[in-house]
Each structure stands twice: as C-alpha cells, then as structure tokens.
Chains A and B, each alone.
Chain A
Amino acid sequence: MSTTDPVVAPAEPNPVLTALRDAALWAAITLLLTGPVVGLGTVASSGTYVFVQRWGLVLSMTAIVFVVRFLLMMTIWRDRAPGPRKVVADLPKSLEFLRELFIPVAVLLAFSYPFISVWLTGGMTTGRYWIDLGVLVLTYILLGWGLNIVVGLAGLLDLGYVAFYAVGAYTFALLSLNFDLSFWVCLPIAGVIAAMWGVLLGFPVLRLRGDYLAIVTLAFGEIIRLVLINWREFTQGASGINRIPRPGFFGLDFVPSGPASFAQFFGIPFSPVHRLIFFYYVTLVLAFVVLLVTIRLRRLPIGRAWEALREDEIACRSLGISVVNTKLTAFALGAMFGGFAGAVFAARQGYISPQDFTFLQSALVLAIVVLGGLGSNLGVVFSAIVLIGGVELLRNLGFLKQIFGPEFDPTTYRMLIFGLLMVVIMVWRPRGLISSRSPSVFLKEKKTVSAEMVHEGRG
C-alpha cells in the first residue's frame, strides 16, 4: 500500500438511527426481563391464588425505558467517545472550596439531624420515623467501618461478620439482665468479648486465603447463630431475649414522670422520641470515636502493615512483619467495632433474637463496604446512606401508582430496585464509590493512589 493513500474515514452513522436502534435494544431487554417477572403473577384472593396478567404494566415500563434511553442518547450521551471514559470529572477550580467545606458540613448535618427531622416533619411523633432511620443508618455505618478494617485494609474477606454483631448484642443483653450492669459498663465488655471471638476466628483461618477464607468465615457466622438458637438455657433460644434494660441519660430515665424522669428534670413535655434521639447521639458519638481510632491506626505502623498485607503477604514476611499478629489485630479490632454496634442495637431494640443475625446481615454490611470502595471510610458512609436509607425510602413510592395504575404495589419491587441499584453502582464505579487510596504518610505532597494500582487482597 502506498503511503500517499488518503485515510478513508468511516461513514458517520446517522445519530438518530443509532439512538433508535440502541433504545430499541434496551426496550427489548426490558420486555424480556419484565415479561415473566412483572407480567405474570399470582394474587391471593379469598383463600386461593388467582393468576393475573399485567401486560399493560410491562408495556408502560418498556416504553419508559425506550423513551428515556432515546432521550439520553440524543442529549447527554450524544458526543460520547468510544473507549474508556473518565468517570468522574475533577471539580472546577472555582468549586474547589466545596471539597474543604464538605466534611464540616457533613459533621454539622449529622449532629443536627434529629432536630432537622423534627423541625421539617413538624413534630416529635412525625419525626420519629426519620430519627429511627438515622439510627439504623448509623448502626450500619459503624458495622461498615469495623468490617472495613478487615476487608478494606487487611484484605481478608470475611463473610461472617454478623457473628461479632451478635456477640456484642448478646453480651450486653445477658450481662445487663443477669448481673444488672449498666449499658456504659457493658459497652466496653461487649467490645472486648467480640474482639476475643475475632481472635478465636482468626487463629484457624490464618493460613487460608481468598475464597477458602470466605467460606470458613461464613460458616463461623452460621455457627454463632445456631449456638444462639440451640443453647436455650443460656440464650433463651429462638424466642430471643426480651426486656433488655434501656440505658438512661446520666442517671435520668426516659419515663413520663417521677424524680428521675428526663422530661421532668429538664421541664419539657414527655415524648418517647427523646429516648430515640438519645440513642441517635450515642451511636453517632460511638461512630466518631471508631472513625477517629481508625484514621489514627491507618497512620501508625499497624495500619500500614494491614495495607501491606493486602498488597503482598510474602513481601511482608520478608520484611520481618509477623503475619499472625497483623491478621489477628485486624480481626480483633474489626470484631470489636462490630461488638459495639451489637450492644447499641440490643439497647435500642430492647429485644434481640437469632433472627436479627442472619447471613443476610453479613452480606449487607459487606455490600456497604464493597460499594463504598474498599478501605474508604467516607465511601462506607455514602453507601450506607444509599443502601440502607435509600432502600428504606423505597417503601414510600406511592406516587408510582399514578404512573403504573392503582394496582401497582411499589413495595413488592423494593428488593428488585435494591438489586438494580447495586448493579448500576458497580457498573458505574467498579471499584466502589470512592476507589482511590489516600497515602498514610507523605514527604512533599499528598497524591491519591488510583484504584488500578491498589490490590484487592487475596488474604
């Protein structure tokens, strides 16, 4: 071929045609997926099941996908170049100050959240739902931060994390019921006992890696749950432990009246929500303590050793690092934070049973850590808000009835949307919401390490 030949440019495809073809493909996939799942169904009606067909709903879903996809292709994605995309654009210089402001604003928001929700919903009783949701999200953030040490930093895949949550909850429940110990005494004990179980799990799995480690930790979680069910004399079995004493506020109880009543002492009208707000702050303060400890540990030799272990275990051994000690401290600390979360959970609920500590909980906490970005504390916060708060909010999708007709019950699609959300996030950001790693120490300038360089850990 002669070098003077002009390079023939490929024919520019008609953008409308391309968009139409693409939208049609997506609509076809939607039709295929929603056909059996949404189109066919059974409805319980006076004792029997009636077979129903909802083809109108299927068609409207398909139509929505077609239109939205077509519009996106014609507008935002019009000039999309082939090849790898830069997923997140850097902030423009003029908006750089937002990054600085973000953390203080988030902290302020976290501390004023109960009052904001009471104020916005116009009353204690109406704000209750939101505060309750806040406590739930915080509990999962606490669990996520604990598991993040094991999975995110040390790279040890733990599928049985719920075991430590259960140990913490049962430790508090049993100690306070049997020995009449207060919440504040039980909290550190719950942490320490959970940490002991962490070490106990750590020993047999020291030599295991990757999938094998995951399977054994999964089994460990199940063992704890089964022991809780079957050791009836000790744990009261599957019926659970009821009437766990509630912690008070510096000797004041959250009761309507009496000399030690919180409401009476401060001269405010009694509301059962006070207790909930109190729990919100207990969880929040505990979460901040855990966060500060984690941030500090990351900058100490032990934190660096955890990350080095995730990067290359053999190199660690060649540098004189005891893999046994390093792995066990990671397991113990992660378990301890899980134990704290468990004690808070038991105190808030007042009732715990083995059903609260199923594998699904482990999977959910792991999903929070993975979706947040392995090793990122901020990522855990975002993904806990999205996965716990967001999915909880899906219960309030009544307005969808106006789109899909009165027979459409959005709550039945909650888990479907939850799954979709996870898939979308992982496609959008394969290494989690916050995937870059921030170095623990620097000489001149702190540069974040891109996710491609960081190992996920096979330990």
Chain B
Amino acid sequence: MADGRDLILRVEHLTMRFGGLVAVEDLSFDAYRGEITAIIGPNGAGKTTVFNCITGFYKPSEGRIALVHGDPSVLSGIDRLTMEGGQSLQAEGGALFLLERMPDFRVSQKARVARTFQNIRLFGGMTLLENLMVAQHNKLMVASGYTALALLGLGGYRGSEREALDKASYWLTRVGLIDRADEPAAGLSYGAQRRLEIARAMCTDPVLLCLDEPAAGLNPRESAELNELLLFIRREHDTSLLLIEHDMSVVMEISDHVVVLDYGRKISDGAPVEVRNDPNVIAAYLGVEESEVEEVVQEVVQEAAT
C-alpha cells in the first residue's frame, strides 16, 4: 500500500439482505496486517452480520470479500479470479481467497480466518485441553493419516499429538488457565470462558482473528487483561485482529483502525482519534438529528476543554 501498510482483508460493496430487511448495505473497508481493526456501531448496526459474512456463515447478497496471505501484490489477480469463478489463487509469495465463495469450515481451514462468538460457544462437556485439541483437528487428521494409519498405530501421530498438546499448553498458559486444563469448559467463569474461546481460535493458527464483542460482560479488571492479551497476540504472532465492540472506550485504547457502522452503512473509517471527532459518529451514538450534529459537537468540544 501507499502508506507502507500491507493489506490483509478487503471488503467491497458488501450487502446482506434478509428478505426485505437490509442488514448491511454497500459496505467497503480495508484491514491491514499486524493491526487491530475495530468495527463499532450502535446495537443492530449490522456488525455481527458483517462478521458472519467474512467467516462464511452467511453468503452475502452482493459484494466481494478478499483475504490476502503474504505479499499483497496477489490482489492484482482479483478480477481475473472473480471472473473465472474460483475461490482462491496461489501465487509466489502469497495467496488470495474470496471468502464469500467459501463454505464456513473452509474459511477457517484454508483461508485461516478464526472467530469467536458473541454468545460464547465452547464445547462445555469437554475439558479445556480437549477444546484446544479440537481446534487443531485438521492438522491432526492429516497427521493421523485420516484416522486409518493412527488406528493401526502407524505413522508419526504420537509426535504430532505431542506438538498439539504443547501448543494447547502454551495458549492455556497465555490465558492463565493452565491449572484448570483438565476441567470441563462449562465450569469456567464468564471471563475465563471468553479467554478460552480466544485461545481456542488461536490454536487454528489464524492470519486473521475475528472477535465478536470480546469485552462484553467483563469487569474492568478482566477487560484490561483482555486488552493485554489482544496486544500480545498482535505483537508476538503473525495474526491481525478484527473486532466488534460497541463500547467506544475499549476500542479507543487498543485499536489502530476503526470502522463505524450505523444502520448497515459505514459512517466513518480511520484512526481512532479521527473517528472520535467525527460528527457523524457522535450523532449516531447520541442519537440526534443531522441538523443538531454541529451543536452536539460544540458541546462535546467544550466539555472536553473544561
């Protein structure tokens, strides 16, 4: 890119209709490698719908969602790929995926986009360790010779299982749950379940991690721990983050780039400071008429000054 940032996700003209209801309308935005991109907006703005489109759970009515691995120059092939009806394009130094064409499990398996859910979805009856082992399913399936070899005790499955256990231990330590590794996930507190879900998503080795309201229901201390965890992921792993929040204060602290939605449309896009001062955003959050926006902005500025 021109400003030295590598593109990882490009959403173009995304529209999602449910019957007559338009949840997302003509939304375009970019997300960059190594950044934390936040999608914010009031309740019902269409944030989760955007997530479901990116992760393959919904098929968008219109639009294109491109994900880049490695060198962003592969984007030059996007129009040809679209015309040819393909799902992905492998090139030297990178790969390109059209997420809107891929079934949900392939988005995670091939394009390596992981996600968490607004209402936590853990495997409650399985232990913490098992939850993280399930996340490494595809790698382990290959290692076990698609079950056949490992069933006969052939192949190097033991070694791969050891590696998978090490990775699970690493993430359990990271989220501070290693002492409870052999307990069922349903027995964890709410905050711990959120952290476990992030750990589970990270066990799939994602290039893009999508977090749906990770701070919802957390107390201030847990919220601070979460911010630290997300910053750690961005710093130490080759994973970019995309997160939904409707709590502005959390977003401002850790995100590099903010996209604001309201009624399914993008109303602002940029660095946190720019977005915070955008009159459209203030209006959407305070719920005032267009004509009153100027007034509100004045008030906010004055308040900030005092």
Q: Which of A301, A304, A311, A323 has the most CB of B within 10 A?
A: A301
Q: In whole angstroms, how far apart are the Cα atoms of A450 and B57 in the complex?
A: 32
The answer to whether B147 has its CB under 8 Å from any CB of chain A is: yes
Contact A439-B127, Cβ < 8 Å, known A315-B117, A449-B184: yes
B151 pairs with A300, CB closer than 8 A:
yes
Q: Are B151 and A293 in contact, with the CB atoms below 8 A?
A: yes
**Nearest-Cβ distance from residue B131 to partner chain A, whole angstroms:** 8
Q: Is the CB of A437 within 8 A of B204?
A: no
A392: Cβ under 8 A from any B Cβ: no
For window 243-285 of B, CB contacts with A under 8 Å fall at none
CB distance from B171 to the nearest CB of A (A): 12
Does B71 have its Cβ within 8 Å of any Cβ on chain A?
Answer: no
- Is B135 in contact with A449, judged by CB distance below 8 angstroms? no
Contacts of A453 in B (CB 8 A): 124-125, 184-187
Q: Which residues of chain A are near B107, meaning CB under 8 Å?
A: 320
Contact partner of A449 (CB less than 8 A), chosen from B115, B125, B150, B201, is B125
For chain A, give the interface size range.
35 or more
The answer to whether the Cβ of B200 comes within 8 Å of any Cβ in the partner chain is yes
Q: Does B61 contact A (CB under 8 A)?
A: no
Interface residues of B, count at CB 8 A: 47
Question: Is B138 an interface residue when CB atoms closer than 8 A count as contact?
Answer: yes
Contact between B182 and A301, CB atoms less than 8 A apart: no
Q: How long is the Cα–Cα vector from A316 to B151 in the complex, in angstroms?
A: 23
Q: How far is the CA of A455 from the CA of B182 in the complex (A)?
A: 18
Residues of chain A in range 186-205 having any CB-CB distance to chain B below 8 Å: none
Q: Are B181 and A443 in contact (CB under 8 A)?
A: yes
Which of A293, A304, A307, A318 has the most CB atoms of chain B within a 10 A radius of its CB?
A318
User: Does residue B122 face the partner (Cβ distance < 8 Å to A)?
Assistant: yes
Given A304-B133, A315-B122: A296 and B138 interface contact (C-beta under 8 Å) = no
Among B138, B144, B186, B187, the residue within 8 A (CB) of A300 is B144
Interface residues of A in 286-303 (CB under 8 A from B): 293, 296-297, 300-302
Q: Mark B134-154, 1 if CB is under 8 A from A, else 0.
A: 111110110010010011000
Q: How far is it, in angstroms, between the C-alpha of A343 and the C-alpha of B286 when the chains are bound?
A: 72
Answer whether residue A314 sits at the interface, using C-beta atoms and an 8 A cutoff: yes
Cα distance A302–B157 in the bound complex, in angstroms: 13
Bitwise interface map of A from 18 to 60 toward B, beta carbon under 8 Å scored 1, else 0: 0000000000000000000000000000000000000000000
Taking CB atoms and an 8 Å cut-off, the chain A residues in 102-132 that contact chain B are: none
B144 with A455: CB separation less than 8 A: no
Given contact pairs A317-B104, A320-B109, A443-B169, A437 touches B125 in the complex (Cβ within 8 A): yes
User: Judging by beta carbons under 8 Å apart, are A441 and B129 in contact?
Assistant: yes
Interface string of A429-459 (1 = CB under 8 A from B): 0000000010111111111011001110000
A308 beta carbon closer than 8 Å to chain B:
yes
Say yes or no: A301 contacts B165, CB within 8 Å.
no
Whether the Cβ atoms of B135 and A319 lie closer than 8 Å is yes
Closest residue of chain A to B121 (Cβ to Cβ) is: A315
Query: Which A residues lie within 8 Å of B129 (CB)?
Result: 439, 441-443
Docked CA distance A453–B126 (Å): 8
Among B126, B187, B200, the residue within 8 A (CB) of A311 is B126
Are A439 and B151 interface neighbours, CB within 8 A?
no
With A318-B55, A454-B124 known to touch, is A441 a contact of B183 (CB < 8 Å)? no
In the assembly, what is the distance between CA of A293 and CA of B115, in Å?
34
Contacts of A319 in B (CB 8 A): 105, 108, 114, 134-135, 137, 200-201, 204
Q: What's the least CB distance linking B64 to chain A, in Å?
A: 22
Is A322's CB within 8 Å of the partner chain B? yes
| Docked-complex contact B115 and A318, CB < 8 angstroms | yes
Q: Give a binary string over A359-372; 1 marks a CB under 8 Å from any B CB, 0 the rest.
A: 00000000000000
Q: Counting CB contacts under 8 A, is A180 at the interface?
A: no
A138 within 8 A of B: no
Given contacts A301-B137, A305-B137, are A449 and B105 in contact (CB under 8 A)?
no
Q: Are A320 and B126 in contact (CB under 8 A)?
A: no
CB distance A447 to B183 under 8 Å? yes
From the candidates A304, A441, A444, name the one contacting B137 in the complex (CB within 8 A).
A304
Interface string of B191-233 (1 = CB under 8 A from A): 0000000001100100000000000000000000000000000
User: Digit string of A226-242 for contact with B (CB within 8 Å is 1, else 0)?
Assistant: 00000000000000000
Residue of B nearest to A440 (CB): B130
Indicate if B123 sits at the interface (CB-CB under 8 A): yes
The reply to whether A301 and B140 form a contact with Cβ atoms under 8 Å apart is yes
Q: How far is the CA of A439 from the CA of B168 in the complex (A)?
A: 15
A362 to chain B, nearest CB (A): 26
Distance in Å from the Cβ of B166 to the closest Cβ of chain A?
11
Chain A residues whose C-beta falls within 8 Å of the C-beta of B161 in the assembled complex: 441
- The minimal Cβ–Cβ distance linking B62 to chain A, given in whole angstroms, is 23
Complex: A252 Cα to B107 Cα, angstroms: 58
**B124 A311 Cβ-Cβ under 8 A:** yes
* Inter-subunit contact A314/B121 (CB<8 Å): yes
Mark A250-290 against chain B: 1 for CB-CB distance below 8 A, else 0: 00000000000000000000000000000000000000000
Check A318–B125 contact: CB distance below 8 A: no
- In the complex, how many angstroms separate the beta carbon of A449 from the nearest chain B beta carbon? 4
Task: Provide the residues of chain A in CB contact with B137, threshold 8 Å.
Answer: 301, 304-305, 308, 319-321
List the 4 closest A-B pairs by CB distance, nearest first.
A454-B125, A320-B108, A320-B109, A311-B123
- Using A300-B147, A447-B183 as known contacts, list a sample of 18 further A-B pairs with CB atoms less than 8 Å apart, ordered by residue number in A: A293-B151, A297-B147, A300-B144, A300-B157, A307-B130, A311-B123, A312-B122, A314-B117, A318-B104, A329-B147, A439-B182, A440-B130, A441-B161, A441-B165, A442-B182, A443-B165, A443-B169, A454-B125
The contact sample of 21 A-B pairs, CB cut-off 8 A, is: A300-B150, A301-B147, A304-B126, A307-B123, A311-B125, A312-B123, A318-B55, A318-B114, A319-B105, A319-B114, A320-B108, A320-B204, A321-B134, A439-B182, A440-B133, A441-B127, A441-B130, A443-B178, A453-B184, A453-B185, A455-B125
Chain A residues proximal to chain B, CB less than 8 Å: 293, 296-297, 300-302, 304-305, 307-308, 311-312, 314-323, 329, 437, 439-447, 449-450, 453-455
